[in-house]
């Protein structure tokens, strides 16, 4: 934003452009990805100049890629940490990965009760104000864990935090399905899927008029991109990827880094490196679907020996008691269909399923008596954020 002589001008200095596809074989792309991944991590290590790396390690691909890559490069001063409710699958897998790599691993236990304390503390309010960019609601993930981590005394004051945002997106994990139908129907299909994924935090706001307004605004952005970058309709999927990049990914997901800044640490984001973006925007869609190029390369490289025997994202509910009750309740919905079950499950069980216990941002009674249809914990965080900006979502229900 440039302000000069009482005039305001907004310029875009970068645009993720996945329509810049270069046709290459999968074998060649794997070779390039392998070399590029190594280069990006080497540059990151060089920039650290011997300082300690701290990696929030989960059961997913991206954080495992980072720690296994650091091991491949021979970096020794690495601390991994994981957090969440007892016995959750993320923590189990992360512990196995860290132990196999011989890296120090720390576990930060979280629960609904201690999360309530963290979120009611004045420090959390300060963090919310600190992380406010006017483009996103505060990010809950990592906040409570970092509070604990700082007090343990094993993290260097000049440590650098490295996480895997936003690897699942950039490698193709959010690609919308391709429909081989006429363009008008295809565009509407894309729009509906996009709105359902990114603009549906509250069911009560999904009125025909609200959805129409969102579709019109997104359609305008699509037309601008097609005009500015000479993109054809064949790359509609790429346009939607670019829109998500400039929206949810840039404004919300990567705002996680504010957690580290708030606690006084530097951070690195290797999977958001410009070199990585340049590479992935050139990869054909067929190799990005289901992240096939990315995942196959990781498994074939098998850095650190942690890619074959330790499962990735082997999701299970942590509490055996909750699993039993939930499975028992499913029996009552055999005759009502999946939609009825999913609605019931989201309302009554999701509060206790969240591995980070961040659903404690609101009392369970708020969930039980919710008539507006909250999608997840972010729904409540956004409502709280907007309320503090004197925007009441209830006024927009039936517009």
The contacts found for 344-352 with CB under 8 angstroms, 24 or more apart, are 346/375, 349/322, 350/376, 351/112, 352/112, 352/319, 352/322
Question: Whose CA is closest to 239, among 253, 255, 219, 258?
Answer: 219
Question: Whose CA is closest to 257, among 62, 49, 56?
Answer: 56
- List, in sequence order, every residue forming a beta bridge with 56; answer none if it has no partner: 81
Question: Whose CA is closest to 281, among 17, 11, 103, 14?
Answer: 17
Q: Please check whether residue 56 is in contact with residue 163, taking contact to mean a CB–CB distance below 8 angstroms.
A: yes
Question: Whose CA is closest to 229, among 14, 9, 2, 24?
Answer: 14
| Residues in the chain, overall count | 399
Provide DSSP, 305-374.
G-SSSS-SS----S-HHHHHHHHHHHGGGTTT-HHHHHHHHHHHTHHHH-TT-GGGGS-HHHHHT--S-B
What pTM was estimated for this model as a whole?
Answer: 0.92
Q: Please check whether residue 282 is in contact with residue 22, taking contact to mean a CB–CB distance below 8 angstroms.
A: yes
Q: Output the CA–CA distances (angstroms, integers) from residue 221 to 233, 262, 396, in the order listed.
A: 14, 34, 23
pLDDT, averaged per 10 consecutive residues of the chain (399 residues), comes to: 94 94 96 97 97 96 98 97 94 96 96 94 94 90 89 90 94 79 78 92 92 95 95 93 95 92 95 96 96 97 96 90 92 87 90 94 94 91 91 65
Question: Whose CA is closest to 355, among 310, 323, 314, 317?
Answer: 317
Paired tokens of 113: 């009760």
Helix ranges, the chain (H) = 26-48, 61-72, 89-101, 112-120, 122-130, 143-152, 167-170, 183-198, 208-229, 236-244, 257-262, 274-280, 285-288, 292-301, 320-330, 338-348, 350-353, 364-368, 377-388
Task: Give me the sign of the Cα torsion angle 136, 141, 145, 150.
Answer: negative
Place of tokens 């020996």: 305
Give the pLDDT of residue 124: 94
Give the pLDDT of residue 398: 43
Give the pLDDT of residue 177: 67
Domains defined along the chain, listed by start: 8-171+259-305 (3.40.50.620), 175-244 (no CATH), 320-396 (no CATH)
- β-strands 2-4, 7-9: how paired? antiparallel
- How far apart, in whole angstroms, are the C-alpha atoms of residue 189 and residue 183? 10
Q: Please check whether residue 300 is in contact with residue 194, taking contact to mean a CB–CB distance below 8 angstroms.
A: no
Paired tokens of 205: 């706001």
Task: Tell me whether residue 169 is exposed, middle or buried, using C-beta atoms within 10 angstroms of its C-beta: 0 to 12, 13 to 18, 19 or more.
Answer: buried
- How far apart, in whole angstroms, are the C-alpha atoms of residue 330 and residue 343? 12
Task: Report the C-alpha dihedral over residues 258, 79, 173, 236, rounded to 10 degrees.
Answer: 40
Question: Whose CA is closest to 119, among 366, 394, 374?
Answer: 366
């Amino acid at each position: 934003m440039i302000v000069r002589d009482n005039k305001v001008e907004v310029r875009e200095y970068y645009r993720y452009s996945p329509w810049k596809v270069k046709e290459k074989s999968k074998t060649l792309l794997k070779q390039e990805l392998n070399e590029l991944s190594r280069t990006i991590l080497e540059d990151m290590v060089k920039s650290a100049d011997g300082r300690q790396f701290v990696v929030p390690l989960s059961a997913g691909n991206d954080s495992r890629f980072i720690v296994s890559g650091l091991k491949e490069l021979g970096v020794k001063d690495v601390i991994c940490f994981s957090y969440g409710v007892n016995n959750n699958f993320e923590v189990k897998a992360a512990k196995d990965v860290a132990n196999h790599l011989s890296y120090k691993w720390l576990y930060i236990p979280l629960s609904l009760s201690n999360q309530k304390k963290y979120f009611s503390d004045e420090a959390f309010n300060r963090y919310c104000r600190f992380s406010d960019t006017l483009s996103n609601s505060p990010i809950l993930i990592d906040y409570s864990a970092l509070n604990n981590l700082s007090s343990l005394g094993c993290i260097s004051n000049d440590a650098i935090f490295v996480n895997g945002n936003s690897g699942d997106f950039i490698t193709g994990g959010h690609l919308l399905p391709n429909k081989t139908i006429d363009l008008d129907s295809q565009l509407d299909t894309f729009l509906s899927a996009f709105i359902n994924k990114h603009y549906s935090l509250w069911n009560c706001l999904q009125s025909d008029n609200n959805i129409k307004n969102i579709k019109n605004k997104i359609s305008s952005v699509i037309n601008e991109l097609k005009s500015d970058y000479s993109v054809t309709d064949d790359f509609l999927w790429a346009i939607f990827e670019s829109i998500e990049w400039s929206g949810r990914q840039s404004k919300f997901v990567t705002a996680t880094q504010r957690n580290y800044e708030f606690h006084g640490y530097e951070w690195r984001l290797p999977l958001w490196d410009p070199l990585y973006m340049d590479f992935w925007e050139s990869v054909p869609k067929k190799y990005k679907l289901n992240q096939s190029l990315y995942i196959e390369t990781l498994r074939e490289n098998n850095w650190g020996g942690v890619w074959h025997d330790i499962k990735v994202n082997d999701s299970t509910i942590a509490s055996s008691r909750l699993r039993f009750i939930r499975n028992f309740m499913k029996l009552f919905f055999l005759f009502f269909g999946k939609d009825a079950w999913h609605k019931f499950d989201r309302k009554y069980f999701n509060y206790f399923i969240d591995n980070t216990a961040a659903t404690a941002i609101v009392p369970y009674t708020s969930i039980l008596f919710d008539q507006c249809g909250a999608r997840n914990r972010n729904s409540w965080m956004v409502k709280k954020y907007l309320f503090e900006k004197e925007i009441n979502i209830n006024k927009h229900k039936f517009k």
